[in-house]
Amino acid sequence: MSGAKISAISPSSPAADRGIAIGDTLISVNGQEPTDIIEYQQLIDGARVTLMLQREGDALARKVIIEKEVGQPLGLSIDSAVFDRIRTCDNHCSFCFIYQLPKGMRRSLYVKDDDFRLSFLYGNYTTLTRFTEFDLERVIEEKLSPLYVSIHSTNPELRADMLRNPRGATSLRWLRELLKAGVEVHAQLVVCPGVNDGAELERTLIDVMSLYPELTSVALVPVGVSAFSVESTMRTHTVDEARSVVALADRFQALSLDLLGRVNVFASDEFYLVAGLTPPPATKFESLDQAENGIGLVAAFMESFKGSRPMDKLGTGFFQSVDGAPAWGYRADRGGDDTIVSGDEIMIISGEYATPLLRSLLDDHGYPDVSILTVVNNYFGGNIKVAGLMTGADISHALQTVGDSVTLLLPDVCLSEGRFLDGMTLEELPRRVTTVRTTGQDLRTTLERIRSQRLVRS
């Protein structure tokens, strides 16, 4: 037990005015030592909660008894989701993006976990190579669903080779047990050209249909390759390779609909963009559970911009509804300044993939006067083109060509607590920018606010 510290106390909550202070360490709840926020949530669910708290500098722990309604939140926020130790990943995947990061970036980027608890709470993917019988019992008993599992390949030898872990050949047995127990599971396959694509990908999807038909969704995601990769076998997809993946996904969508009565295989929007194809419309997706893998993200953004489908469910995992579950390090607040700095021209800062889609959307809905500043991701070597991985350095370089009388709008998806991936802050940019939540609805609302302010001034 490393201890969990109290990070916030909600006013007017059952825990308020009980002598609890921010920074107190939680020792036990009702006589038990919770190992994570999930157990904590279960222990505080009753009408009477007994906390043992240790304050820095005090020799003895203090007992605090709180009376409340059954199921009522206690009102305490905890500074960590895991109170013992995060179960780190012992795979050494050739395609792992963490190994492709230079030094000096945001600290949380270097956390390589394979913890089923974080899969449940935050939608992190687990390979199940560190999963145990005890973990399975806990997942079933506590109904920790949904979980998110990385498959990559069902070929045992290839999967072990890709994960560089012999347990990769056998750990999918846990996936079968999870599905058998009725646990909802979303899966992903990071597709690496020349490794697990082509015939191997087809074999894996056939196995998915026959061995794991209960999977709620299966996302085909393109490998990301940065300039810092040292893997000779890793490269980006060609246009033809991307089209082959999309065609295979289409085939298995039809097959799953025919066999299972539902579609559960999806290619990431990025595959369509690499292939020069238009990503599927919103009608093709029943949910946004795999939005962070780019499944339906473009369609949802467009529908949200039109006002017909708000993107309230962006983000995965259960953490948003768990009392006290922290966002730091996993889904931290984006941060930034949404104060509009008025100028003669409006310009949206965007990555290369989003630019043509944004241009079409703006022109079709009465915003031809709004321009787009496309940021080339030189930091990662030019292969990464999504807006979420834009760095402060590349944005700063692009802003050198922008005049002083421009209102700059920046999607907040590239930020975490006000910092870019490379550690730069918004304040370090050469120009002040207005951050906008990365939904179509928020972008349109911001554009309308700017128009309204201009009308008032005129």
Under 8 Å CB-to-CB from 30, ≥6 apart: which residues? Answer: 43, 46, 49, 50
CATH of the domain at 117: 3.80.30.10
Lowest mean pLDDT segment, chosen from 124-133, 316-325, 435-444: 316-325
> What residue numbers bound the domain in which 69 lies?
4-78
Residues 180, 274, single domain; the answer is: yes
Residues 294, 384, single domain; the answer is: no
Question: Which of the listed residues 321, 354, 386 is the one where a domain comes to its end?
Answer: 321
Cα gap 102→226, rounded to integer Å:
10
Is 449 within the bounds of a domain?
yes
Residues 189, 278, single domain; the answer is: yes
Is 136 within the bounds of a domain?
yes
The band of 85, judged by pLDDT with boundaries at 50, 70 and 90, is confident
β-strand pairing of 147-150 with 406-411: unpaired
Peptide bond into 146 cis (omega under 30): yes
Region of 336 on the Ramachandran plot (φ > 0 left; ψ -120 to 50 alpha; else beta): left
* Spatial contact of 114 and 87, defined as CB atoms under 8 Å apart: yes
Residues 74, 171, single domain; the answer is: no
CATH of the domain at 360: 3.40.50
Cα gap 218→149, rounded to integer Å:
9
Q: Please give the tally of structural domains in the chain.
A: 3
Type and span of the H or E element at 156: helix 156-163
Question: Which of the listed residues 50, 78, 106 is the one where a domain comes to its end?
Answer: 78
pLDDT in tens, 111-128: 788 999 999 988 889 999
Cα gap 187→172, rounded to integer Å:
11
* pTM assigned to the model: 0.87
Residue 314 has pLDDT above 70, yes or no: no
* CA angle, 336 then 342 then 345, to 5°: 110
Residues 370, 442, single domain; the answer is: yes
Under 8 Å CB-to-CB from 250, ≥6 apart: which residues? Answer: none
Q: SS in 3 state form for 98-135? A: HHHCCCCCCHHHHCCECCHHHHHHHCCCECCCCCCHHH
The band of 458, judged by pLDDT with boundaries at 50, 70 and 90, is low
Is 208 within the bounds of a domain?
yes
Residues 356, 425, single domain; the answer is: yes
Residue 324 has pLDDT above 80, yes or no: no
pLDDT in tens, 365-394: 999 999 999 999 999 888 889 998 899 999
Residues 273, 191, single domain; the answer is: yes
Residues 22, 129, single domain; the answer is: no
| Longest pairwise C-alpha distance within the chain | 69
Burial label for 198, CB within 10 Å (0-12, 13-18, 19+), is: middle
β-strand pairing of 185-191 with 217-222: parallel
Task: Give the chain's end-to-end CA distance (angstroms, integer).
Answer: 62
Residues 307, 392, single domain; the answer is: no
CATH of the domain at 38: 2.30.42.10
Residues 253, 114, single domain; the answer is: yes
Higher pLDDT among residues 172 and 454, named by residue: 172
Cα gap 76→53, rounded to integer Å:
12
Is 335 within the bounds of a domain?
no
pLDDT in tens, 11-58: 999 999 999 999 999 999 999 999 999 999 999 999 999 999 999 989
Residues 117, 232, single domain; the answer is: yes
Higher pLDDT among residues 226 and 429, named by residue: 429
| Mean pLDDT value across residues 414-424 | 86
Is 87 within the bounds of a domain?
no
* Phi, psi for residue 76 in degrees, rounded to 5: -105, 140
- The confidence score (pLDDT) of residue 326 equals 54
323: its two tokens: 């009392």
Is 330 within the bounds of a domain?
no
Mean pLDDT of all residues belonging to the chain: 89
Residues 432, 305, single domain; the answer is: no
Is 129 within the bounds of a domain?
yes
Is 255 within the bounds of a domain?
yes
* Spatial contact of 44 and 31, defined as CB atoms under 8 Å apart: no
